[in-house]
Amino acid sequence: MNRPLCFLAAACLGLVSLTSPVRAADTKIVLMAGTPSHAPREHEFNAGVLLLEKCLDKIPGIDATAHLNGWPKDPKAFDGAAAVLLFMDGGSGHPLIRDNHLEVMADLMAKGVGLACVHYAVEIPATKGGPELLEWIGGYYETGYSINPHWDAKLKLAADHPITNGVEPFTIRDEWYYDMRFPESPGNRVDILRATPPDETRTTDDTKAHPGREEILSWAIERPDGGRGFGFTGAHFHDNWANEDFRRLVLNALLWVAKVEVPKGGVESTVAPEELELNLDKKGKK
């Protein structure tokens, strides 16, 4: 290139650098949905994750990536992730305890990646996965100890926590798990949602021993590795995503575990009635 052209190119490059904003990489949140489960409009993991992805994608600087029907097959699915959401069946078939998935998640946690587990995803065997979730999100549902009735919870919110920004106290029917397995000392756990279940739902030995006790239905922790964890026991019923406070709390939590500042008024989002009908699993009639 001759000298005049070199000068012109340099001038143009300088102009671009002065006038074009440099945008940092978006914060990546990986949303994992489980395979079809339960009756229609219950455990609608794929449809629920896609609704959350739609809401998050409207937030500047957020790259929400949905993976449907089970654990991602792409080994690079978690590359660059700031947070991971698990919304899937748990228990003895929890995808987290299959193959090498615990090791994969342990590597992410060691890097300070946030983890959110919603509904059945908080249930995992006490001897495999239980110790890990206790460390990563601060608690879990233990089969035979915890309990999972359907009831109308009049929810109390944690005060002055970003996850409850803009969320008003609300009452909603769900399969709210309680009597979770937590460490003996709460440490830095914050109880995000609490409610008092009807005593007739207390059918295990431990819950019968505590009539009238207020129970923890959602919680959050900041881990020593720098990461954050969130547990949420609701979302059995797909239509609960239509509730603005219910939805805002989960969206706030996803930003918080990804270490993104939660707006003072919480995440604004809309879900139209027709959107609740999209992406439902084909399960036949209820």
Please give the single-letter amino acid code of residue 175. Answer: E
Q: How far apart are CA 248 and CA 166, in angstroms?
A: 8
Give the DSSP H/E element, type plus range, for residue 50: helix 45-56
CA distances from 242 to 4, 117, 268 (A): 63, 20, 13
Q: Does any domain span residue 13?
A: no
Give the DSSP H/E element, type plus range, for residue 245: helix 244-257
Indicate the pTM of the whole model: 0.91
pLDDT average, residue stretch 5-26: 41
Q: Does any domain span residue 6?
A: no
Q: Does any domain span residue 241?
A: yes
Structure tokens at 167: 């969320």
Q: Does any domain span residue 18?
A: no
So what's the pLDDT on residue 185? Answer: 85
Q: How far apart are CA 69 and CA 76, in angstroms?
A: 17
State pLDDT tens for residues 98-146: 999 999 999 999 999 999 999 999 999 999 999 999 999 999 999 999 9
Structure tokens at 215: 């129970």
Let me know: does 59 contact 82? Beta carbons within 8 Å: no
State pLDDT tens for residues 75-96: 899 999 999 999 999 999 999 9
State pLDDT tens for residues 24-41: 479 999 999 999 999 999
Q: Does any domain span residue 11?
A: no
Q: Does any domain span residue 210?
A: yes
What residue numbers bound the domain in which 258 lies?
Answer: 25-277
State pLDDT tens for residues 139-185: 999 999 999 999 999 999 999 999 999 999 999 999 999 999 999 88
Structure tokens at 11: 């001038």
Provide the CATH number for the domain around residue 237. Answer: 3.40.50.880
Q: Indicate if the pLDDT at residue 286 is higher than 70.
A: no
State pLDDT tens for residues 232-250: 999 999 999 999 999 999 9
Q: Does any domain span residue 5?
A: no
Q: Does any domain span residue 141?
A: yes
Q: Indicate if the pLDDT at residue 17 is higher than 80.
A: no
Q: Report the number of distinct structural domains present in the chain.
A: 1
Indicate the SS3 state at residue 136.
helix
